[in-house]
Amino acid sequence: MPKSNLQSHLIFSRSERGGILFLTALIVVLLTTYYCIDFSAESVLDVSSSEIVKQQRILDSLYQVELEARKPKLYPFNPNFITDYKAYTLGMPTEAFDRLKAFRAQGKWINNTEDFRKVTGVSDQWIDSISPYFKFPAWVTRPKPNYTFSKIVNTRRSYDEKVDLNIATAEELQQVSGIGALLSERIIAYRDGLGGFTDDVQLYEVYGLSSEVVQKTKQLFTVKSPKSVQKWNVNTASASDLSTIPGVSFDLAKEIWEFVRLREGITTLSALEKIEGITASKLKRIQLYLFVE
């Protein structure tokens, strides 16, 4: 190749020389950056730091609180009346619940924690965690006075002379004219179902017990150890809440709820007498479980 041609290839214009110089400088900068700067991945967050550990503990404790809040709340209950659903929420083994049902089907009653353990065969761990919520009627846990009765027709007694209706036996109740073996057992069965009477007026709910016989019974017996009951604000209670009241069916509970809603609340419980099916006598019984606010 002639020398002149070679020289022409090696001669660059000013703009070409500037471009070559810029490209060279860029390569030098990139190489310097590559070798001088550590591009290895760094942990942005140190999960082992004391602050992170502290926050994690707080989150864990809040999670545990949430789990506890989701668990069904336990309230005192009579273990003689455990239902399938109640047994499930208590974590009661199926075999143990079946044994309890068979025992109750014979008309027998659990009177204390040890009875429950023997009948059901539940584990010590289960009984230790659940038995503190067992609530047996007062006439089971309290000694009963030894009364001697003769058949009484219409003898009125003072309050102190009357027998506590919540500890009265079937034999004692049969001393009232008009109460035989069947009605006395029916009164006690209803009392057991309630967990104890709250007021004498609840005798009117016992099937087959006439008003006349109730009056005779009240001359000799009265509630001296009333069972405390949950009271519902009639202006805010739902139909489901109201249906838990003894003697109130779900249909009647819906009528009460609708009656209150239509009037945007009531100021006195006596207003409920306007509902068909609620007599003055029935109102006396259901208002034991209601208040107005």
Q: What is the CATH number of the domain that holds 188?
A: 1.10.150.320
Region 249-264 average pLDDT:
89
Region 39-64 average pLDDT:
68
91/146 same-domain check: no
What distances in angstroms separate CA 225 from CA 122, 156, 190, one per listed residue? 32, 20, 16
153/91 same-domain check: no
Q: Give the end of a domain, one of 102, 136, 170.
A: 136
Evaluate the CA torsion angle 89, 91, 92, 98 in order and state its sign.
positive
Indicate the number of domains in the chain: 3
146/212 same-domain check: yes
Residue 93 has pLDDT above 90, yes or no: yes
Region 205-222 average pLDDT:
90
Share above pLDDT 70 across residues of the chain, in percent, rounded to a whole number: 82
Question: Tokens for 124?
Answer: 């010590």
Domain-embedded: residue 204 = yes
The pTM assigned to this predicted structure is 0.45
Query: In this predicted structure, which of 70-84, 161-175, 223-237 has the lowest mean pLDDT?
Result: 70-84
Query: Side chain identity at 82, as an amino acid letter?
Result: I
Domain-embedded: residue 22 = no
Nearest in space to 128 (alpha carbons), one of 139, 119, 116, 136: 116
Residue 237 and residue 281: Cα distance in Å, rounded?
22
Show the CA angle centred on residue 230, arms to residues 137 and 80, nearest 5°: 30
Domain-embedded: residue 9 = no
158/117 same-domain check: no
Query: Side chain identity at 35, as an amino acid letter?
Result: Y
Domain-embedded: residue 69 = no
Q: Give the end of a domain, one of 119, 136, 153.
A: 136
Domain-embedded: residue 56 = no
Model confidence at 53, pLDDT cuts 50, 70, 90, reads confident
Q: What is the pLDDT of residue 233?
A: 92
Residue 29 CA to its chain's centroid (Å):
72
Region 41-59 average pLDDT:
68
145/216 same-domain check: yes
Which is more confidently placed, 44 or 93?
Answer: 93
Domain-embedded: residue 187 = yes
Domain-embedded: residue 71 = no
Give the bridge partners for 221, in sequence order.
Answer: 163
Domain-embedded: residue 57 = no
102/130 same-domain check: yes
| Contact (CB, 8 A) for 74 and 98 | no
Model confidence at 39, pLDDT cuts 50, 70, 90, reads low
175/207 same-domain check: yes
Question: Tokens for 174?
Answer: 């049969």
Q: What is the pLDDT of residue 97?
A: 93
Residue 209 CA to its chain's centroid (Å):
34
Average pLDDT, the chain: 81
Q: Which domain holds residue 270?
A: 232-291
146/130 same-domain check: no
Q: Give the end of a domain, one of 169, 190, 222.
A: 222
209/240 same-domain check: no
